[in-house]
Amino acid sequence: MSNTPPPDFLPDAEGLSGTISEESILQGVSETEGNPAELPDIVPEGTLAGDVRQGEIPRLSLVIEAILFASQKAVSPKELLAYLKGSASAEPNSVASAYGRIKEADIREALDELQAEVSASGRAYQVRETATGWLLSSAAGFAPWLRALYPEAKPTRLSAPALETLAIIAYRQPIARADMEAVRGVAVDGVMQTLLDRGLVKIAGRAEVPGRPLLYATTQYFLDHFGLRHLDELPNAAELRHLPLPKGLPEPSSQAADDEGTPDLPGVSEIPMDAIPEGETPAPET
pLDDT of residue 119: 93
Looking at residue 262, the DSSP 8-state letter turns out to be: S
Angstrom distance (rounded) from CA 120 to CA 129: 17
More confident: 55 or 61 = 61
Q: What is the mean pLDDT of the chain?
A: 75
Residue range 159-186: mean pLDDT, rounded: 92
Q: Would you place residue 157 in the very low, low, confident or very high pLDDT band (cuts 50, 70, 90)?
A: confident
Angstrom distance (rounded) from CA 210 to CA 223: 32
pLDDT of residue 54: 62
Evaluated on CA atoms 79, 80, 82, 86, the torsion sign reads positive
* SS3 (DSSP) at 273: coil
Q: Would you place residue 52 in the very low, low, confident or very high pLDDT band (cuts 50, 70, 90)?
A: low
Q: Would you place residue 102 in the very low, low, confident or very high pLDDT band (cuts 50, 70, 90)?
A: very high
Which residues does 282 contact at the CB level (< 8 Å), separation at least 6? 185, 186, 187
The domain 160-259: what is its CATH number?
1.10.10.10
Residue range 178-201: mean pLDDT, rounded: 91
pLDDT of residue 153: 66
Measured between alpha carbons, how far is residue 199 from residues 57, 120, 154, 166, 203 in Å? 42, 35, 18, 12, 11
Say what the pTM is. 0.55
pLDDT of residue 106: 95
More confident: 282 or 234 = 234
The arrangement of secondary structure in 60-140, i.e. its CATH architecture, is Orthogonal Bundle (1.10)
Q: Would you place residue 263 in the very low, low, confident or very high pLDDT band (cuts 50, 70, 90)?
A: very low
CATH 1.10.10.10 residue window(s) in the chain: 60-140, 160-259
> In what side-by-side order are the strands of the sheet with 175-176?
175-176, 214-218, 201-206
pLDDT of residue 53: 60
Measured between alpha carbons, how far is residue 11 from residues 5, 15, 23 in Å? 15, 6, 20
DSSP per-residue letters across 54-90: TT-B--HHHHHHHHHHH-SS-B-HHHHHHHHHHHHHH
pLDDT tens for 86-100 read 999 999 999 999 999
Looking at residue 184, the DSSP 8-state letter turns out to be: H
Angstrom distance (rounded) from CA 110 to CA 235: 29
Least confident window among 61-70, 166-175, 224-233: 224-233
pLDDT tens for 6-15 read 444 334 434 4
Nearest to 185 by CA among 232, 277, 126, 248: 248
pLDDT tens for 200-258 read 999 999 988 888 899 999 998 899 888 888 888 888 877 777 777 677 666 554 444 44
- How much of the chain, in percent, has pLDDT values that exceed 70? 66
